[in-house]
Amino acid sequence: MKEEIKKFFRGDAEDSEETLLKYSHDASIFDIRPKIVLFPKDAEDVKNLVKWVSENQQKYPGLSITARCAGTDMSGGAVGESIILDFTRHMNKLIRWNESLNFSQVHSITVQPGMFYRDFEKITLSKGMILPCFTASKTINAMGGMFGNNSAGERTLRYGKTEDYILETKVVFADGIERAVKPIPVSEISRQEGVYTKIYGLFKNNEKEIKEAKPDVHKNSAGYYIWNVLKDDVFDLNKLLVGSQGTLGIATEITFRLVPEPKYSRLLVVFLRDMSLLPLLVNKILKYNPQTLESYDDKTFLLVVKYIRGFAQLLGLKNFMKLIFSFLPEAVMTFRNGFPKLALLVEFTGETQKEANEEAEKALQELTTVKKIGLRLTRDALEAKKYWTIRHEAFNLIRYHLKKFKSKPFVDDVIVRPERLPEFFPALYKILNEYKKEMAFAVGGHAGDGNLHIYTLVDPKDPNVKKMIIEVSNKVYDLVVRLGGSITAEHNDGLIRTPYLHKMYSEKMLEIFAEIKRIFDPKHILNPGKKVPVVGGAGTEEYIVKHIAF
């Protein structure tokens, strides 16, 4: 196969043991060995490869392409059994900065999918702009992955997800043709190629079913996100392609809209013992338009205290006692009110420090009327960094110290409406505490919209761990769906959640997803088993158990 591909493929083709081992993993629990890893030079390589795969499926059964960038996907979306197509080696460049585009008063940037976000952000920040849907893994993730997963992060509460920042793309479809994809008036659909008319017809013929199936949450990545494709007489196919994990097409260029980067911020920290207060607090806080409203639970904080010296190193503090004294406010609040169950990090921003301070102080004054909570308005950047480091790095600290346990994300990204969180938290802890012998865990996330990340570490030597993963997944997702939520808000389906889509959606909706896949990819050559399962193969519980890596 390699020699055949090299006849038309100008990029690199590698199938050494070392390369195949490396690409058998992403950031998920899986170990899935590919046949070959390819590094395209340009869009011509991608087009030629897709055509060749389409024409050679009978010769090479199971032949398919899994597009990959940085490999930070936690759902198993970037691993596959056939061809891995990695964009980060060559297709990682800036195409243009806001050049020859008719997006009036809109700052934009066009890049190749393999550009790392850290390099992308250097360019945008030099212009005072930012893509605000960046993820917690922004130092290691790439732009194509953000497009493929419809990524979001701590600023999503105010700014939205990646889909809100896609102006135009170039995408190679399953026929090997690269097309420019951008919003068009509904009146022009009849003049477009078949995929437009077929998708439009599918949506119109199932309008009622689709509308009723939309999860009532702030963000959702489960299934194909079809609800914003047709809006205000505009048809935007990018709304469907973003978040589709490379199952419908392979992006070769992406044009992102940017926003000004806030210059100043102030952090307010809220400690609460009574989870029933959470909806009230969130509603009061949101009135003041915070940039972020994040959270971490008591288990996270206690583990940080347990490994306090390692935490000091994360902060870059040489004076250990200075860190100890920095926790004095928390100690006083705990003495007065008891140990908090949850900490909320509320960040306010402004064009001046005075503006950011005023918004934070307004929220502080309003929250002082609420009993049984502790409040801390941070004094400086170092104090704010302490709290943000707990939120961002605590799990890495835990993973480093708990040598017996391995980080295995599998129920890592759920969402319910904020007002359901007081009911959700105790029910979640009840489920997870049943498996204390097999698993350690902590919970953090985006409290402003009810999106929680469940950080799990498992004992790989435990003979029951695979069974436990399936049992916990079913129990947690049943709970989430019962409370009207989504089994994934940001991290997407991949291999780990595709088997559970039936819990959220009706058989009719699952068939609509399958029909979308058939319209775009009739031969199932693009990242099979994600979003739409392969019968007896990828996208099933049996496949998960077979390919869990320890």
Domains identified in the chain and CATH numbers: 2-86 (3.30.43.10), 94-260 (3.30.465.10), 263-401 (3.30.70.2190)
**Is 70's pLDDT higher than 60?**
yes
Q: What dihedral angle (degrees, nearest 10) is formed by the CA atoms of 32, 38, 42, 44?
A: -100
In the numeric block, which tokens belong to residue 368?
């002082």
| CA proximity to 343, closest of 334, 353, 351, 352 | 334
**Is 105's pLDDT higher than 70?**
no
pLDDT: which is higher, 122 or 455: 122
- Mean pLDDT confidence for 463-485: 96
As a whole number of angstroms, the longest Cα–Cα distance in the chain is: 73
Residues in the chain: 550
Cα separation, 138 vs 91, in Å, equals 18
Task: Name the helix (H) or strand (E) containing 283.
Answer: helix 278-286
Query: Would you state the pLDDT for residue 100?
Result: 44
- Give me Rg for the CA atoms of the chain: 24
266 neighbors 352 (Cβ within 8 angstroms): no
**Is 360's pLDDT higher than 90?**
yes
| CA quadruple 385, 387, 391, 395: dihedral sign | positive
> Could you report the per-residue pLDDT of 120-175, keeping only the tens digit for each?
999 999 999 999 999 988 989 999 999 999 999 999 999 999 999 999 999 999 99
**Is 101's pLDDT higher than 70?**
no
In the numeric block, which tokens belong to residue 516?
């979308």
**Is 339's pLDDT higher than 60?**
yes
The residues, any chain, with a CB within 8 Å of residue 363's CB and separated by 6 or more, are 268, 284, 285, 287, 288, 290, 346, 348
Task: Name the helix (H) or strand (E) containing 266.
Answer: strand 264-272
Share of the chain above pLDDT 70, in %: 91
- Within 13 Å, how many C-alpha atoms sit on residue 277's CB side? 19
| CA proximity to 415, closest of 37, 193, 152 | 152
Share of the chain above pLDDT 90, in %: 77
Mapped onto helix, strand or coil, the DSSP state of residue 219 is: coil
Residue 124: how many CB atoms within 10 A of its CB? 19
> Could you report the per-residue pLDDT of 37-67, keeping only the tens digit for each?
999 999 999 999 999 999 999 999 999 999 9
296 neighbors 142 (Cβ within 8 angstroms): no
> Could you report the per-residue pLDDT of 304-329, keeping only the tens digit for each?
777 666 666 666 666 556 666 666 77
- Mean pLDDT confidence for 375-381: 90
* 396 band by pLDDT with thresholds 50, 70 and 90: low
29 neighbors 410 (Cβ within 8 angstroms): yes
Residue 272: how many CB atoms within 10 A of its CB? 21
Find how far residue 296's CA is from the centre of its chain: 18
- Range name among 80-94, 221-235, 286-300, 331-345 with the lowest pLDDT average: 331-345
Cα separation, 476 vs 431, in Å, equals 7
Query: Would you state the pLDDT for residue 9?
Result: 98
> Could you report the per-residue pLDDT of 250-284, keeping only the tens digit for each?
999 999 999 999 989 999 999 998 989 999 999 99
Query: Would you state the pLDDT for residue 383?
Result: 84
* 338 band by pLDDT with thresholds 50, 70 and 90: confident
Query: Would you state the pLDDT for residue 320?
Result: 58
Query: Would you state the pLDDT for residue 398?
Result: 64
Task: Name the helix (H) or strand (E) containing 256.
Answer: strand 250-257
